[in-house]
Amino acid sequence: MIGIFDSGVGGMTVARAIEQFCPGYPIIYFGDIARTPYGSKSPETIIGYSRNNTDFLLDRGAGLIVVACNSAASTASAALRLHYDVPVLDVIGPATRKAATISKSGRIGVIGTRATVKSGIYEQRLQALLPGARIFSRPCPLLVPLVEEGWLSRRETKMILRRYLHPLRREQIDTLVLGCTHYPLLKQLISPRIGRRVNLIDSSVEVALHVREFLHHNPELRARLQGNRAASRFFVSDCTAPVRQLAAKIFGREILLEKVKIP
Ligand code: DGL
């Protein structure tokens, strides 16, 4: 199974894209709703949670881990790769590659949680791919709770987005990386507020394409994952009505969310 985790529902945008671009592979998803958001926690805590989540997915048969959370990826992917001997893919590489390829002016904006922006990982990776690029990063800590609450088109959400995006708009970026897997759910609101000509990089699609490519080059793993005929399963450490509604919205169908306790 392809194991995917996030601090909440945002990673379901990645799970959905993987389901679409990599059909035939069962998915096991874990959303750590009880401990979300990760983005305002310390690196030690985020690494600890990420290890709990990975252990859970591996115990349930994952053969590949996708860190579908930028806060966890920017802080914990390296530690996970050292600790586990299964492949660990994440959202950052695919999103930065796409941004570097698509940006013409080299003026790229990045929005994410505090942990992601503080890690500086997008700047480092984008500078490495596109030397001389100007990167403008902005933490947007209020967006994850708004999405988890299902406030996807409220006036308050629009107002907060305008406040967050205004400084980036002034920098005349031509590309904006949605550096949090919750943000694709706000795409319709982000686009007019940053300027419709700005390319929005949605890491969910990019990571799904990367997983497909990775499996293409790893036939043994591919055969093992495809050989598993289990149905996809979605686990959460807590479950509320807005979470259920969001899951249904992301997948376009009802999703059975199974509540589990994580140590
Ligand atoms: N979806 C997570 C991310 O991509 C949300 C972060 C959080 O829990 O802070 O960063």
| Residue 7 burial (10 A CB sphere; 0-12, 13-18, 19+) | buried
Give the pLDDT of residue 230. 87
Give all domains of the chain, ordered by start, each with its CATH number. 2-90+205-259 (3.40.50.1860), 93-203 (3.40.50.1860)
Q: What is the pLDDT of residues 99-148, one digit of tens each?
A: 999 999 999 999 999 989 999 999 999 999 999 999 999 999 999 999 98
The gap from C-alpha 229 to its chain's centroid, in whole angstroms, comes to 26
For tokens 């596109």, name the residue: 130
For tokens 């490519």, name the residue: 213
Percent of the chain's residues with pLDDT above 90: 89
Under DSSP, the state recorded for 182 is: T
For tokens 């509540």, name the residue: 259
Q: Which of 238, 95, 233 is nearest to 175 (CA)?
A: 95
Rounded to the nearest angstrom, the distance between the alpha carbon of 107 and the centre of ligand 1 is: 24
Q: What is the pLDDT of residues 66-106, one digit of tens each?
A: 999 999 999 999 999 999 999 999 999 999 999 999 999 99
pTM over 0.85: yes
Under DSSP, the state recorded for 9 is: S
Is 239 marked active-site? no
Q: From the CB of 36, is ligand 1 less than 6 Å away?
A: yes
- The rounded mean pLDDT for the chain is 94
Rounded to the nearest angstrom, the distance between the alpha carbon of 223 and the centre of ligand 1 is: 31
The answer to whether the CB of 90 falls within 8 A of the CB of 67 is: yes
Helices (H), the chain: 11-21, 43-59, 70-83, 92-102, 114-119, 121-129, 143-148, 155-170, 187-194, 203-216, 219-227, 241-251
For tokens 């959202």, name the residue: 91
Q: From the CB of 182, is ligand 1 less than 6 Å away?
A: yes
Q: What is the pLDDT of residues 218-237, one digit of tens each?
A: 999 999 998 888 899 999 99
Q: What is the pLDDT of residues 23-41, one digit of tens each?
A: 989 999 999 999 988 988 9
Residues recorded for the chain: 263
